[in-house]
Structure 1
């Protein structure tokens, strides 16, 4: 999701209805990952999963009831999507040998992820599309819509860049897809899922703190859509210092959650009452404002003197590269910026 700016001077700010829509596809091929499909496709509209494919079932299936409406307009839609996924599955699988040689690798776990997509602002009509490929969590190659050429941020991708740059016909075809066909499908999907995609749900907002010296976390969970703003304010102005913003995360019920931390070590006790956490949801006029009050902060902290039996907690953190429920891994760009929304051009099966 593109980052949103934060500029507020008062507590109640009218927001425009959500107008930016996105269509994303993540094609992920893995090598050396046990007990997991070698190839997974996940498609999303406005960050809501709409389709799923994996190499075990070898069938593209809908993940939302309203996606069944596509069949009424295009009887061959699911067969076509399945065939395209099979082609991409084969293309990414055979690419591993080439990529391992370029990076001087042998065994181990390796991931190729193709990310494609488009965005459409239904108020201004502005559109955007792009196509990126990553290898082992790093940028490998990306398509430049303006020049219809390829950008290679790593030396190992130069031979691929030169090969794909020479295919002017394919590059023109890709540009047309990202700027026209992808947008047409996005508009259809938004219309099919209007009752789901255009709804609004307000969250529950809580203040959390691990220990008296820890940051106070403002946690909002259960909101939809994910076009929101969550921030700390003091005396009517947004606080930027001593504040850490978390990412927007998915909930299992299709809603979202987000947290923002305030480091209170630099806040005088008598000034706590001046601070508030503010939640704003696109399309909703009234904000949810939560005062920084010690009485409402939730914590599981217990004074050491109150402990009867010392408790030693051993926490094992497993870094899950791919989860079966979602079926894709989102990698951050080296510069630390968030990835744009992306959607795959199914008919393109580039070879490295």
Structure 2
């Protein structure tokens, strides 16, 4: 009764004081990713050079060295962006393809590598924002290179200078830091132009991008393959969008330490939603109460699913395997990442500023369209 009275008083106060409902902060991102291989790979869907744009982790445009045309990957991108945008975008991608081909060779020689193995140069470039109502606030800018899966060069947005994580990148850092206008443009793009593009794209694709989806949550257990006296308890959340989610395994409603948990991380489903799996090993005979806790922007209150204490098939596979198998995204980008993973060349991403911006193209490109500021 006391709680009910307090709630009514709060509502009445809000009426008299004209309380405004709190606006939820949305997080959004725009990234461009370029990947170049040192030589062709005889695998279906794998190209020597690829480029893609990702808005909130959804692919919005794509280019590869075989088709040599920048194309829309979302219906609203094709509808909203005029023909000139795609023509200029194709020209820009071709220029960057030449730049990457030259610089992969430069890095191979600097590293003392020959052409017997496949080497990878990537560039990831973009921004993240926080949006509350109509207010858009810059949150983070990223401009980074990787070579063979290792960080090679990073841009420090606050200090407007490049960071060399490895000795081999020091010559490039010195060279690029000496081009003051390049660093000024990079900072300006990350903090302003990228944010403008992001907001514009979000407005163009608002109806589709705002199709939020609530998570489905499952919990199950099977016998551990590492220790036969233990069970592997798994929580699985799937079908949610956007990707920001609070996901916990709890014991007596207290969160377990993340160091004790095996996590898949947030992964994409084939339909544009996301999934996340977490597992923990527990004693088979333990009688403790475990549950899965999920909080998401689509939910009025968090989901809590208790484990029933049953291990129905400790030696068999679960339906969860089917769900995870369905996450393979049928794009060339996924094929590139899968190949690099299988060859143990895990990579950071890298991108370039959006196409069609004359001042950056004039700065970084010669008359033949190849960037003059080589690595």
Report the TM-score when normalising by structure 1. Answer: 0.80
Q: What is aligned with 1:48?
A: 58
Per-residue deviation at 1:62? 1.0
CA shift for structure 1 position 197: 1.8
Question: Which deviations, in whole Å up to 9, do the C-alpha atoms of 1:289-310 show, x marking residues without a partner?
Answer: 2111134x564625xxxxxxxx
In the alignment, structure 1 residue 143 sits paired with structure 2 residue 152 = no
Please say if residues 42 and 327 of structure 1, whose CA atoms lie closer than 8 Å, have aligned partners that are also in contact.
Answer: no
Q: Which runs of 5+ in 2 are unaligned?
A: 1-21, 225-229, 317-327, 342-346, 355-360, 365-370
User: Is the contact between residue 267 and residue 275 of structure 2 (CA under 8 Å) also seen in structure 1?
Assistant: yes
Aligned residue for 1:20?
27
Match of 1:88 among 73, 96, 100: 96
Could you say if the C-alpha distance between residues 16 and 275 of structure 1 is closer, same or farther in structure 2, counting changes exceeding 3 Å?
Answer: farther
| Cα distance change, pair 69–224 in 1 and its aligned pair in 2 (3 A) | same
Q: After TM superposition, give the deviation of residue 137 of structure 1 in Å.
A: 0.1
For 2:145 and 2:272, how far apart are their aligned partners in 1? 27
The corresponding residue for 2:129 is: 120
Correspondence for 2:74: 64
CA distance in 1, matches of 2:238, 2:272: 11
- Distance (Å, rounded) in 1 between the aligned partners of 2:100 and 2:350: 18
CA displacement, residues 97-133 of structure 1 (integer Å, 9 cap, x when unaligned): 2101111110201000000000111126431212100
Q: 2:297 aligns with which of 282, 291, 308?
A: 282
Structure 1 residue runs of 4 or more that deviate by more than 6 Å after TM superposition: none
- Larger displacement relative to structure 2 (128-137 or 274-283): 274-283
Structure 2 CA distance for aligned equivalents of residues 323 and 192 of structure 1: 23
Distance 1:232 1:16 in 2: 28
Per the alignment, in what secondary structure is the counterpart of residue 122 of structure 1?
Answer: strand
Deviation at 1:200, TM superposition (A): 1.7
Whether the aligned pair in 1 keeps the contact of 2:34 and 2:351 (CA below 8 Å) is no
Structure 2 vs 1, CA of residues 203 and 284 (structure 1 numbering), >3 Å: closer, same or farther? closer
Compute the displacement of 1:205 (Å): 2.0
Query: Cα RMSD over matched residues?
Result: 2.8
Residue 344 of structure 1: how far off its partner (Å): 2.3
Deviations for 1:302-326, whole angstroms, at most 9, x for unmatched residues? 5xxxxxxxxxxxxxxxxx9x97253
The residue aligned with 2:264 is 246
- The Cα of 1:37 is off from its aligned counterpart by 1.1
Q: TM-score, normalised by structure 2?
A: 0.75
Tell me the number of residue pairs that the alignment of Structure 1 and Structure 2 aligns.
308
1:55 and 1:234 map into 2 onto residues whose CA distance is: 51
Distance 1:327 1:195, change over 3 A: farther
1:351 aligns with 2:366: no
1:174 equivalent among 186, 192, 206: 186
Q: Distance in 1 between matches of 2:351 and 2:99?
A: 17
1:109 and 2:118 aligned: yes
Q: d(CA) in 2 for partners of 1:18 and 1:292?
A: 32
Match of 1:232 in 2: 249
Report the CA distance between 1:219 and its aligned residue: 1.1
Matched position secondary structure for 2:189: helix
Task: Name the CA distance, whole Å, in 1 between partners of 2:51 and 2:162.
Answer: 23
